[in-house]
Amino acid sequence: MQPILKLIILGRDGILNEFHEEHIKAPEEWVALPGALEAVARLNHAGWHVVVATNQSGIGRGMIDTAAVNAVHAHMLRRLQALGGRIDAVFLCPHAPEVQCACRKPLPGMILEIGRRYGVDLAQVPMVGDTLRDLQAAQAAGCQPHLVRSGRAQALDGPQVAAMLAQVDGAHVHADLAAFAAFLLEREHQPDSQPGALR
């Protein structure tokens, strides 16, 4: 019997690297968040495959081009490889919001494509983001939604986070990607953990 692929979907900005309001246009602007790349490596070593799903509307708006985004991602992958980790693939939506495509989060098109590409049951796939939009995309695709407070959610207070969670059933909250990794690896041994607890 073929083993079930252990897959995790991550957002990029605010999860792996610092969020930039004006988009990251060059590799030198990409700054890893503390402990994020090490968290990916730790997950890899525990048998998890990691892919990235990111909205990159700067392409559709003419602020950046695909070659620049690819250069940023190549830099990200080299940084991760140096720590013994890997990201299997980067999926992105290049469209501006007004295009109203099906792949831009919070719509689930990009996530559903990942599920098809990897042949996985998305109900078994954790998806990590830092915005309500990410959580809604995870929920719409049938993934397990996880919020990290290392990016845009960092500025939210307790009631704001609670209001966000009230819109997405079963969401978990973590301080950052390292805390998510610790939670997930512990949950593999304790499958009855409860949603919503900050780890």
Q: Can you spell out the DSSP letters for 72-121?
A: HHHHHHHHHHTTT----EEEEE---GGG--SSSTTSSHHHHHHHHHHT--
Per residue in 127-182, pLDDT tens?
999 999 999 999 999 999 999 999 999 999 999 999 999 999 999 999 999 999 99
Task: Please state, for a pLDDT cut of 70, what percent of the chain lies above it.
Answer: 94
Rounded to the nearest 10 degrees, the angle between the axes of helix 36-45 and helix 66-81 is 70
39: left (phi over 0), alpha (psi -120 to 50) or beta: alpha
157: left (phi over 0), alpha (psi -120 to 50) or beta: beta
| Residue-level pLDDT at 22 | 84
Element (H, E) at 42: helix 36-45
Query: What are the phi and psi torsion angles at 115 (to 5°)?
Result: -60, -45
- CB–CB of 120/7 below 8 Å? yes
Q: Are 29 and 87 in contact (CB under 8 A)?
A: no
What is the token pair recorded at 73?
């991602």
Output the six-digit token pair for 137.
């995309």
Per the structure block, which two tokens stand in for 196? 């919503």
d(CA 116, CA 95): 21
What is the CATH architecture assignment of 7-187? Answer: 3-Layer(aba) Sandwich (3.40)
Retrieve residue 153's tokens.
Answer: 């959610």
Maximum alpha-carbon separation in the chain: 48
Name the pTM for this structure.
0.92
User: Residue 49: beta bridge partners?
Assistant: 7
- Give the span between the Cα atoms of 75 and 191, in whole angstroms: 36
pLDDT-based confidence at residue 4 (cuts at 50, 70, 90):
confident
Q: What is the mean pLDDT of the chain?
A: 93
Tens of pLDDT, residues 34-74: 999 999 999 999 999 999 999 999 999 999 999 999 999 99
CA-based nearest residue to 53, from 126, 107, 105, 131: 105
